[in-house]
Chains A and B, each alone.
Chain A
């Protein structure tokens, strides 16, 4: 197939992967560039999907298999697009590939990580624990090749990993390289970041130990997370028997994110089941403005609501303080239908933090208009360039998959024009 008939997918999260494999299976060659060392994006950090409560790695595994079996999907990790020139049918894309310091000879034996003396904050676990500077995020990661984080690694001065590796896979001299790709169309799938909860000054975000984000909660509940799946609170490792979820932590709030982040209601309902499943006597309370469970998600809402140990309280939490003696967290809200202002104490509190398009934290390398909130306005994209998923609006995995599949046909059309 001619070089310029290829499709470039920027972003290797679930949207990007889907767009890539769907495009490839419809007959175009695809190149994916992912800026981190591993594929799967946010989805890999989730314990379970709503509403099926099934593990995201299941679908990821299939998609990785699709990449392996296709032969039409090439990929680059640690790769960032620097420049795009040209037009539909003849884009020239400059991609900078950062060094991984580990080459393809890596067998994934973990010897480098064992030898590495540097502990660094584990970003995959949102800082809930630490990891080595030579690391792999989890045991189903793809590609299954370790990476070395040069922000923390001491380089050749240390070199312990290179000594430990029997497979000649460590190359601490690795340099960044720049490659040029010729493609016919481009799919932007750069995804989202979690809203910085430290901006929520009245909710103790980032300040109170036992106030965590919904994404941290996913890590806590994941078998490959910092607590091997046990929901334990950060301050003292106590089992969480009494948990609260604060909905719209940042979302639907002009002072923070004026839009609704779509996923947080379902995510909190889901996370309530994590705790309820682990601790049969545990109680969960969800404070909300509106419960948004569109379509058949409603059934999941009913199921969780029917649990007598789960309480849904209409009223936004507007104050969170810590009980310094116990580490417990005290929430303040108006129980609107109870007609009272309430203060309740919990073992741990989860902030259902919102979604921020990744354009807010890193510029996308194309000319496009964004909404003030950073979402791509698709109509302003150059012909042959398409945006997908959470770059355009906050959506869940299911909607991202629909969108990514739909965008795949656009890229096919571009390739065939």
Chain B
């Protein structure tokens, strides 16, 4: 029985606009599939994804786990004889996939579209601005710099972030449920494949797959720094919760405190990681593509988080209140952005990629 193919020009254009502008150049020579080190041998990607995208076969692509098996090493892009940059195109499709499964979907659209950049940032600015106004803290406070006491009380921050985290969790929950349903529709996969989840996590912790990239081998290192920077900061945050709520010990903490040391090290790791990401991106732009708005937004947010975070600390120690408070404010805004919009920004790759890898491992699709 033949399969009905329904070309969708809108989708083609959306891939093009999402950073896949080179998409149409592909002439299906399959160089990409051959040079790709992470694709399975059977029905390899990204050649087939390229033609599906060229024809706008939205349904085949958005729920396609293969788009997440790609780690955007860009070996394919470097060797592509046509300049079609499959790495970039798959990145664009992943973005569209995130947007597609986004809940609520209007947030997904807003985060994905540069037109709404200001609006998306306006949300945390307004929230935190309103809090400051309510507290009467809109002026730069005098004396020693204490962010929690004189500027933004921790419970308020917690309240806002817990709310945003819940929002994000719901977003992720709905998105992933839909995605998993699409993934497994028409297959025999039922329930949660625990073994595959474990395997995915262990593999991920060592960045095994990432290291197989040839063209941009340095990317695995930068990603590793970034990733463990985040992990460290997550641990630091938990640690701080223990100090604050468990031991009723208010910030700021002395520099020699183990939690502080750990936190600063994590921040340093993140800074190194994200800086390397930026350097690598620029270095490989010619061969691997310069990246899309979606990519750079995410990179920018992380970079801003880590720089404003560290600056907040440094400016506090140097006692420059005129800069310290605004920087801290920006820090809060971008952290909010990262948390609240996690299911809609590139951050979501963490969850979708993991899901896709689990599925791939479970169905034997993943390359050993």
Direct A–B contact in complex, judged by CB atoms less than 8 Å apart: yes
Residues of A within 8 A of B (CB): 202, 248, 252-256, 289, 315-319, 332-334, 336, 339-342
Q: A202-B79, A254-B81 are in contact. Are A316 and B29 (CB under 8 A)?
A: yes
Residues in B with CB closer than 8 Å to A254 are 80-83
A340 to B40, CA, bound (A): 9
Q: Is the CB of A289 within 8 A of B34?
A: no
Q: Could you tell me the distance between the alpha carbons of A336 and B30 in the complex, rounded to whole angstroms?
A: 7
Question: Using a CB–CB distance below 8 Å, which chain B residues touch chain A?
Answer: 27-31, 33-35, 39-44, 47, 79-83
**What A residues does B43 contact at CB under 8 A?**
339-340
- A315–B80 Cα distance when bound, in Å, is 13
Across the interface, which residues of B come within 8 angstroms of A334, CB to CB? 30, 33-34, 44, 47
Contact A252 to B81, CB < 8 A, known contacts A316-B30, A316-B31, A318-B31: yes
Checking B28, B29, B33 against A341 with a beta-carbon cut-off of 8 angstroms, the contacting residue is: B33
Closest 4 CB pairs of A and B: A253-B81, A318-B34, A334-B30, A316-B29
Instruction: Select from chain B the residue with minimum beta-carbon distance to A332.
Output: B34
Task: Report the Cα distance A113→B31, complex, angstroms.
Answer: 47
A381 to B222, CA, bound (A): 53
**Which of A256, A318, A332, A336 is packed against the most chain B CB atoms within 10 Å?**
A318
Contact of B79 among A248, A255, A315, A339 (CB under 8 A): A255
A148 to chain B, nearest CB (A): 43
A336 touches B34 (CB 8 A): no
B34 x A317 contact (CB < 8 A): yes
Question: What is the total of A-B residue contacts with beta carbons within 8 Å?
Answer: 61
* Option from A202, A252, A253, A333 in Cβ contact (under 8 Å) with B30: A333
Which residue in A252, A256, A318, A340 is a CB contact (below 8 Å) of B42?
Answer: A340
Taken together as a complex, chains A and B put the C-alpha atoms of A319 and B35 apart, in Å, by 7
Residue of B nearest to A247 (CB): B29
- Among A253, A255, A318, A341, contact of B39 (Cβ-Cβ < 8 Å): A341
Contact indicator A289/B27 (Cβ below 8 Å)? yes
Given contacts A333-B30, A336-B28, contact A316 B81 (CB under 8 A): yes
Are A202 and B81 in touch, CB under 8 angstroms?
no
A286 to chain B minimum Cβ distance, whole angstroms, is 14
In the bound complex, residues from chain A placing their C-beta under 8 Å from that of B79 are: 202, 255, 318
Given A202-B35, A252-B81, A289 and B29 touching (CB < 8 A)?
yes
Distance in angstroms from B42 CB to nearest chain A CB is: 6
Please, which residue of chain A has its CB at the minimum distance from the CB of B82? A254
- Assuming the contacts A254-B81, A334-B47, asked whether A315 and B30 have C-beta atoms less than 8 A apart, the reply is yes
Given contacts A202-B79, A255-B81, A289-B28, contact A333 B34 (CB under 8 A): yes
Q: Is the CB of A319 within 8 A of B34?
A: yes
Q: Is the CB of A341 within 8 A of B44?
A: yes
- The CA-CA distance from A339 to B28 in the complex, in Å, is 13
**Minimal beta-carbon separation of A284 from chain B (angstroms):** 20
- The CA of A106 and the CA of B34, in the complex, are separated in Å by 56
